[in-house]
Amino acid sequence: MPIHRDDEQSILKPVKRKDLLEVLAELQPLAAEDQFPEIDDMPLPQSIFPEDTNR
Best CA proximity match to 16, nearest among 6, 26, 28, 2: 2
4-52 tens-digit pLDDT: 787 888 888 888 888 999 999 999 998 999 988 888 877 777 666 666 6
Check residue 50 and give its pLDDT.
Answer: 64
Check residue 14 and give its pLDDT.
Answer: 86
Check residue 26 and give its pLDDT.
Answer: 94
Best CA proximity match to 18, nearest among 5, 9, 10, 27: 27
Check residue 20 and give its pLDDT.
Answer: 95
